Amino acid sequence: MRPALLACLALSLALASPAYAQTPPLAPAQETIRDIDTVVVSGVQPGPGMWKVSRGEHVLWILGTLSPVPKNMQWLSRDVEATIAQSQEVLEPPSVSIGTDLGMFRSMLLIPSALKARRNPDDKTLRDVVPADLYARWLPLKARYIGSDRGVEKWRPVFAAQELYEAAMRRSDLSLKGIVWPMVERSAKQHEVKITPSKIEMKIKDPKAVLKDFAHTTLSDTDCFAKTLSRIEGDIETMRARANAWAIGDIEALRALPQGDQYEVCLRAVTASGVAQRLGFGDLRERVIQAWLANADRALLNNRVSFASLPVAELFKPDGYLARLQARGYTVEAP
């Protein structure tokens, strides 16, 4: 449940924290950024094969998606398009829509940006709210990937981490932009194939009151910040290797390479807060999974051929979608 998917946080504050200027400077941080040797593939690439989920003559084909992918690759999608053309139904990737009076958002982590509410409460900065050793690791990474922007120093760690991660991807020949679903949706419409959403819709009736509540809420997002730094320090080359494996269709390499996705940890920092729990966000992942599985059951019962796409990391999990389908009695065959 991505790409990407990162609740409302504290109200924006206009001025930088006075404590920032008064804090003695940290000792120079030890350089932890590794040189990147892996060359990211480009040009036309086949992408991975599809998992086959079946019962009798009824088949659901599942394409595993990945983020990030090589920035300059062109996905050769003809096999997927041919599968969609013979399908009776396409299942949308599972998602959550959060409604406010500003409209609908596909991710809880988008709402603070829209409401200009990413900053720390009490005018604090990153230097004030994260341990000194983490802040020392943050500085060279920020300098390399973000630059001298001081605005991000006022953000909550979860949002500063996301900004750093996205900037690092842009500098590493990787793209967070989804390339699969736009093609799938276009192909389904072209062949007049039914598209079924697997979406949980939630409504925040009074976002201003929620913002006020969050203004005094401390998030447990230090772990998110630390895991994001670690991933950028040591995992970018692995991410590039995963992106290459997805592009050329090497499922075994994808399975063998560590997944290392910090997004769930960062999302949990938001959804585990008291405010998010009161809004009913605590069990979102399980609710989304169950909504998608219910659609898959119906598709496999009613259709001869159906198609779906899911994040490949979710397919590999011991309690992921494929494992749950298998537990329901379906036959699952890897590409």
CA-to-CA separations, 282 to 22, 224, 288, 335, in angstroms, rounded: 39, 17, 12, 34
Q: What are phi and psi of 200, to 5 degrees?
A: -100, 120
Alpha helices in the chain (DSSP H): 18-22, 78-85, 111-114, 126-129, 132-145, 157-170, 180-190, 207-214, 222-234, 236-248, 251-256, 263-271, 274-278, 284-302, 312-316, 321-327
Token code pair at residue 237? 């080359």
pLDDT at 238 (0 to 100): 82
> Three-class SS of residue 311?
strand
pLDDT for 27: 34
Phi-psi region of 307 (alpha: psi -120 to 50; beta: other; left: phi over 0): beta
pTM of the model: 0.76
pLDDT number for residue 305 = 98
Query: How far apart, in Å, are the Cα atoms of 279 and each of 22, 65, 204?
Result: 38, 30, 8
Residue 323, SS3?
helix
> Are the C-beta atoms of 241 and 257 separated by less than 8 Å?
yes
Cα dihedral: 74, 79, 82, 88 (round 10): -100
What the block records as the tokens of 72 is 């300059």
What is the b/e burial string over 299-326, where b = at least 16 CB atoms within 10 angstroms of the residue's CB? bbeebebbbbbbbbbbbbeeebbbebbe
Task: Give pLDDT, residue 211.
Answer: 65
Separation in Å, CA 269 to CA 41, 156, 157, 277: 34, 11, 10, 11
Q: What is the pLDDT of residue 215?
A: 60
So what's the pLDDT on residue 241? 84
- Percentage of the chain beyond pLDDT 70 is 70
> For position 208, what pLDDT does the model report?
66
Q: How far, in Å, CA of 219 to CA of 270, rounded?
A: 7
Give per-residue pLDDT as tens, 135-184. Answer: 999 999 999 999 988 889 988 898 899 899 999 988 888 888 888 899 99
Ranges of the chain with pLDDT below 70 = 1-44, 98-117, 204-219, 259-263, 268-282
d(CA 217, CA 219): 6
